[in-house]
């Protein structure tokens, strides 16, 4: 089997990934293979590079002055940081949902339609908007108020609106950076249920500080910590059930049992 075909078995694969802010190496030598159409949680203490890794997958770090990377991030066998790769197109295939819901100051309808519109979508926009809102488990709550501002919704509804906005451009992968940290427990469980439904059709990668959430909602878990140089390193990666019940590294066990972090 060729190297390219082997890479296609993974949604994303990193090879010797090193991420830098100026001279500071924020993340060191990460080799990670993300399984398609599953939920992968990235956990670890604050400052260990979890969000930096997540944002490298759709080149959001490109906006940070001084950021640069070494190694490879492969998507369909292609290095996302190759000179001929368009970062805007990367973000179409690999969408992002942020920690704090960030609807645009537009109508609910236009929030969902926005990405498709700027990408030149020529199909039936009403159907696209309805489909994305249904997929985000929001349609029944907003179908009679599509002209209302997205900012009028509750926090949990706003986060599902942001998920619908990401879905509308037909991504393959959805990145979620602590998507429930600003939400109450009921809204959090709705997002977790939604993630489970979406993972039938999409690959989901989530950064979370919530150990219970990682254990409940993910299929795979990657545990990161910091080395003596304060660089983020991946200690352990495997099926979530194994990571939480039979971790191979004592640092993983100490973290998930609350002994540090």
Rounded CA separation 147/109 (Å): 6
Rounded CA separation 64/150 (Å): 28
Rounded CA separation 49/5 (Å): 29
Higher pLDDT, 259 or 228: 228
Reported as a single tens digit per residue, the pLDDT across 70-129 is: 999 999 999 999 999 999 999 999 999 999 999 999 999 999 999 999 888 999 999 999
- pLDDT value of residue 119: 86
Q: Which of 15, 29, 35, 20 is nearest to 78 (CA)?
A: 15
Read off the pLDDT of each residue in 30-39 and give the average, rounded to a whole number: 97
Ranges 113-122, 130-139, 146-155, 231-240: which has the least confidence: 113-122
Radius of gyration from C-alpha coordinates of the chain: 18
CA distances from 176 to 101, 148, 192 (A): 11, 25, 11
Domains detected in the chain: 6-256 (3.40.50.300)
136: left (phi over 0), alpha (psi -120 to 50) or beta: alpha
- pLDDT value of residue 8: 58
Read off the pLDDT of each residue in 152-160 and give the average, rounded to a whole number: 97
Cβ neighbourhood burial of 189 (10 Å; 0-12, 13-18, 19+): middle
- pLDDT value of residue 15: 98
Q: Which of 170, 163, 211 is nearest to 187 (CA)?
A: 163
Read off the pLDDT of each residue in 55-69 and give the average, rounded to a whole number: 97
pLDDT band with cut points at 50, 70 and 90 for residue 9: confident
Rounded CA separation 168/95 (Å): 10
CB 191 within 8 A of CB 101: no
Query: What's the token pair of residue 252?
Result: 């993983």
Sign, CA torsion 112/113/117/123: positive
Average pLDDT over all residues of the chain: 94
Q: Is the pLDDT of residue 18 over 60?
A: yes
Higher pLDDT, 81 or 4: 81
Q: Is the pLDDT of residue 5 over 80?
A: no
Q: What's the pTM?
A: 0.94
Q: Is the pLDDT of residue 261 over 80?
A: no
């Amino acid at each position: 089997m060729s190297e390219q075909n082997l890479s296609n078995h993974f949604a994303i694969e990193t090879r010797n990934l090193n991420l830098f802010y100026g001279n500071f190496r924020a993340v060191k030598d990460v080799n990670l293979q993300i399984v398609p159409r599953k939920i992968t949680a990235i956990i670890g203490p604050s400052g260990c590079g979890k969000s930096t890794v997540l944002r490298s997958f759709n080149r959001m770090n490109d906006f940070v002055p001084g950021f640069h990377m070494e190694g490879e991030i492969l998507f369909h066998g292609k290095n996302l940081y190759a000179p001929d790769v368009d970062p805007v197109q990367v973000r179409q295939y690999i969408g992002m949902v942020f920690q704090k819901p960030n609807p645009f100051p537009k109508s609910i309808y236009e929030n969902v339609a926005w990405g498709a519109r700027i990408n030149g979508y020529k199909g039936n926009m009403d159907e696209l908007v309805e489909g994305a809102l249904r997929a985000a488990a929001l349609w029944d709550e907003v179908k009679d108020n599509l002209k209302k501002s997205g900012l009028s919704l509750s926090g949990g509804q706003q986060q599902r609106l942001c998920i619908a906005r990401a879905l509308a451009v037909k991504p393959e992968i959805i990145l979620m950076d602590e998507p429930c940290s600003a939400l109450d427990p009921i809204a959090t469980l709705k997002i977790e249920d939604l993630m489970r439904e979406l993972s039938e059709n999409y690959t989901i990668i989530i950064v979370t500080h919530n150990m219970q959430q990682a254990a409940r909602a993910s299929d795979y878990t990657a545990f990161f910590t910091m080395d003596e140089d304060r660089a983020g390193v991946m200690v352990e990666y495997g099926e979530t059930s194994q990571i939480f019940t039979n971790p191979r590294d004592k640092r993983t066990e100490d973290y998930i049992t609350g002994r540090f972090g």
